[in-house]
Amino acid sequence: MRIFIAVDIPERLKDKLRGLQAEMKQFNAPVRWAAPDGFHITIKFFGEVLDTRQPAICQQLRDIARWSKPFEIHLERLGTFPREQSPRVIWIGTRPEDDRLKNLASTVETAMASIGFAAEEREPSPHITLGRIKGADNLFRLMTYINLYRESQSLGSFVVDNFYLYKSTLAPTGSVYEKLQAFPFGQ
């Protein structure tokens, strides 16, 4: 089973993200746009994991959630991965000062390493994937728009008070996400 841990996005912000996608779609660049219903911020991606490992993962996540307190994050900073010169992913990130989400991701990494999962070597970069670039046609206009709003795009904030274990199923139209379990903070 292909799984990951993520923070869900409130509907009011999903609507704003839909609007941002609509603005960028006008450039007719070859982008496979992410389905707004699936918008999330990944904390830890596992990839394929045996079903028998899920109870240990969930126990670690319950422990982390029990001691976590709600915190606010801000969605802003439109950008691309891996580099501006060869973009593959269009994303919206969180405010750099929103350290609590990065701290949560680091805590999850440490806990998962303690039960045998390889730790991510890169520093967490919390973001929501808006689309995946599939070619270069009309990309100049889209990148001009992204660069214009790279630092100034602000969509609002929300309180993180839980996270989820998700299952991801690959389909021809893109990944399909299913929430397997919720981990509310303080419980």
The predicted model scores a pTM of 0.92
pLDDT of residue 123: 84
> pLDDT at residue 4 above 80?
yes
CB 33 within 8 Å of CB 134 = no
Here the CATH number for the domain that contains residue 10 is 3.90.1140.10
For the chain, what percent of residues have pLDDT higher than 90?
A: 79
Q: Which residues are CB-contacts of 23 (< 8 A; sequence separation ≥ 6)?
A: 145
pLDDT of residue 175: 86
Mean pLDDT of the chain, nearest integer:
93
| Burial of 115 from C-beta contacts in 10 A (0-12 / 13-18 / 19+) | exposed
Position 158 confidence tier, pLDDT thresholds 50, 70, 90: very high
Where residue 148 falls among pLDDT bands split at 50, 70, 90? confident
Question: What are the CA-CA distances from residue 6 to residues 9, 26, 31, 128 (Å)?
Answer: 10, 30, 23, 10
The mean pLDDT of 158-186, rounded to a whole number, is: 94
Q: Is the pLDDT of residue 150 over 90?
A: no
CA distance 18 to 74: 17
Q: Return the H-helix or E-strand segment holding 131.
A: strand 127-133
Band (pLDDT 50/70/90 cuts) for residue 83 is confident
* Tally of domains in the chain: 1
Q: How far apart are CA 142 and CA 57, in angstroms?
A: 40
What single letter denotes the amino acid at residue 99?
A: D
How confident is the model over 93-107, as a mean pLDDT? Answer: 91
* CA separation for the pair 162, 185 (Å, rounded): 5
How far is the C-alpha of 186 from the C-alpha of 143, rounded, in Å? 42
Q: Say if CB 40 and CB 73 are below 8 A apart.
A: no
pLDDT above 80: residue 153: no
List active site positions.
Answer: 40, 127
Whether 160 and 73 have beta carbons less than 8 Å apart is answered as: yes
Domain containing 149: what range? 2-184
| Residue 183 or 82, more confident | 183
Cβ-proximal residues to 164 (8 Å cutoff; 6+ apart), any chain:
5, 6, 7, 8, 40, 179, 180, 181, 182, 183
Strands in 29-97 per DSSP E: 31-33, 40-48, 71-83, 86-94
